[in-house]
Amino acid sequence: MTDRTDGPRGLYDFFEQDPEGADAAFFGRKTNSDRRGFLKGAGLATMGAMIGTAIPFHRNMPAGFIPAAFANEDVLTGKDGLTLLNDRPINAETPPHLLDDPITPTARHFIRNNGHPPEDVDADTWTLTVDGLVDNPMTLTIAELGEKFENHTMALTIECGGNGRAAFDPPAKGNQWTLGAVGCSDWTGVRLKDVLNAAGVKDNVVYTAHVGADSHLSGNPDKLPISRGMTIEKAMTDNVLIAWAQNGAPIHPNNGAPLRLVVPGWPGSVSHKWLKRIYLRDIVHDGPKMTGTSYRVPNRPVAPGEKVEKEDFEIIERMPVKSLITAPQTGTASGMKAEIRGHAWSGDRKVTRLDVSIDFGASWQQADLDDPVNEGAWQNWRTTVAFPQAGYYEVWARATDDSGEQQPFALAWNPKGYLNNTMHRIALTVS
């Protein structure tokens, strides 16, 4: 991948910081009221000319979107059908209809990077250091991890905290994720709690801190692109893994090969990739993207556009209840009956009910909902709906968890565009 240090780098930085301003400045683009397409064609001709051809489905293009044609062609090697949002760092999401599998294939697992991935990812020489406030600091190879501790394979859901950011109005800065920054692969490794118990957790520990081998976008070797952590209570749960395999094979390089944390139910940023070190602290970790407003939300409901002081932000822990319709694909034709299916999940909780509506929420039909295959996995669901007559329909999905939390219809706005868990809706034309 090319290291952008001049013009192209500015383009991606510009879109990261102010996606809609970049749309207007770079393409002359204005979107429709739903923040998709090109209002009265504004900017469409410019973008088409830069790509070199027409864009047939331009009406669906989200605001703040950089066509993949402007990125290097090889950044998504080993991936299938992902939508590239940025290639510096690489960020790509999966369209909902490509997430239909009960277990997400590696080729369709989203990518969320903060820095440049390391070039040397040799699993034979890779080591992990566990230190800080422990009785027995240790450095282990991946082979030693596998030999010294019980191995586990678990289906675990990872979701970016900013999944759904593209729906925020006023817009929130950052990658304009729509729906596909989520996946549930099978991960193989050892429990973090087993490793920490072997290291000996001191009584005053309150937080973990994670360090990876990726490098800062600035090229400064003294800077980390990200270093997050979690409460020691979360770290000691049974489904937090130090993983070296994804779906029975080595982890994809852009998903953290050869070693990563997998922390289901909390923002994906906690599931540190290219893992090199875990150290324990007696304070809340204050590494890059742990302080300020990163992965934090206001401690109270705020009005759209309201300015919130930094001291009024709280760290995101569990992710909210959510669901996704994976079949049929939105915008397609249907007969008078259709099977609707998808997934549902809710942080550290279990989803207890999934309902669908075909009449804009006036009535609801309960779907068949599977139990999770293990704690931390999403839950698969399905139902068959019958349409009363031909025409345009929307299918809405609404999940409810075991604490009674239910997906809302309206978006709860926050300045950073996190935790959008509004109901997923698809459009079908019935004939």
- What pLDDT, in 10s, does the model give residues 60-86? 888 877 776 665 557 889 999 999 998
What percent of the chain is predicted at pLDDT more than 70? 94
Region 99-127: mean pLDDT is: 97
Q: What is the pLDDT of residue 303?
A: 97
Cα 334 from Cα 392, distance rounded (Å): 10
Cβ–Cβ < 8 Å for 183, 108: yes
Q: Kindly list the distances between the CA atom of residue 286 and the CA atoms of 57, 292, 312, in Å, as whole numbers in the listed order.
A: 44, 10, 17
Cα 251 from Cα 243, distance rounded (Å): 8
Q: What is the pLDDT of residue 67?
A: 75
Q: What is the pLDDT of residue 260?
A: 98
Cα 40 from Cα 161, distance rounded (Å): 33
Per-residue pLDDT band for 1 (boundaries 50, 70, 90) equals very low
Cα 102 from Cα 245, distance rounded (Å): 18
Give the mean pLDDT of the chain.
Answer: 93
Rg (CA), the chain: 22
Q: What is the pLDDT of residue 199?
A: 98
Cα 181 from Cα 113, distance rounded (Å): 12
Query: Residue 22 pLDDT > 70, yes or no?
Result: yes
Cα 159 from Cα 266, distance rounded (Å): 8
Strand locations in 193-334 (E) = 207-212, 241-246, 249-250, 260-262, 275-281, 296-298, 313-315, 321-327, 332-334
Per-residue pLDDT band for 41 (boundaries 50, 70, 90) equals confident
Instruction: Take residue 410 and report the two structure tokens written for it.
Output: 């309206």
Q: What is the pLDDT of residue 230?
A: 98
Q: pTM of the entire structure?
A: 0.87
Instruction: Take residue 168 and report the two structure tokens written for it.
Output: 């925020």
Q: Burial code of 378-413, b = ≥16 C-beta within 10 A, e = fewer?
A: bbbbbbebebeeeeebebbbbbbbeeebbbeeebbb
Residue among 228, 258, 222 at smallest CA distance from 140: 258
DSSP letter at 47 equals H
Higher pLDDT pick, 368 / 5? 368
Higher pLDDT pick, 16 / 248? 248
Per-residue pLDDT band for 4 (boundaries 50, 70, 90) equals very low
Q: What is the pLDDT of residue 350?
A: 98
The helix, strand and coil proportions of the chain, stated in percent and rounded to the nearest 5, come to 15, 30, 50
Region 174-198: mean pLDDT is: 97
Q: What is the pLDDT of residue 35?
A: 84
Strand locations in 202-274 (E) = 207-212, 241-246, 249-250, 260-262
Region 201-209: mean pLDDT is: 98
Instruction: Take residue 365 and report the two structure tokens written for it.
Output: 């039909």
Q: What backbone torsions phi and psi does residue 165 show, to the nearest 5 degrees?
A: -60, -30
Residues 319-359 have pLDDT tens digits of: 999 999 999 999 999 999 999 999 999 999 999 999 999 99
Query: Residue 7 pLDDT > 60, yes or no?
Result: no
How many separate helices (H) and strands (E) can be counted in the chain? Answer: 6, 23
Residue among 254, 293, 85 at smallest CA distance from 178: 85
Cβ–Cβ < 8 Å for 99, 326: yes
Cβ–Cβ < 8 Å for 126, 146: no
Single-letter code of the amino acid located at 178: T
